[in-house]
Amino acid sequence: MATSALDEARRAVANACHVLAGEGLLIGSAGNVSVRVGEHVAVTATGVVLGRAAADDVTVVDLDGTVVAGERVPTSELGLHLGIYRRYGAGAVVHTHSPQATAVSLVLDELPCVHYQQLVLGGAIRVVPFAVFGSAELATETLAALEGKAAALLANHGAVTHGPSLEAAVDNALLLEWACGLYVRAAALGAPRVLDSEQQDAVVAAAVRRGYGR
Q: Which residues are catalytic?
A: 77
With beta carbons less than 8 A apart as the criterion, state whether 119 and 113 touch.
yes
Cβ proximity of 124 and 131 under 8 Å: no
Rg (CA), the chain: 17
13/92 Cα distance (integer angstroms): 9
State the maximum Cα–Cα separation within the chain, in Å, rounded to a whole number.
Answer: 55
User: Which residues sit opposite 94 in a β-bridge?
Assistant: 33, 161
Surface-to-core class of residue 214, CB atoms within 10 Å of its CB (0-12 exposed, 13-18 middle, 19+ buried): exposed
CA–CA gap between residue 130 and residue 106 (Å, rounded)? 10
Dihedral of alpha carbons 81, 152, 163, 177, sign: negative
Distance CA 212, CA 214 (A): 6
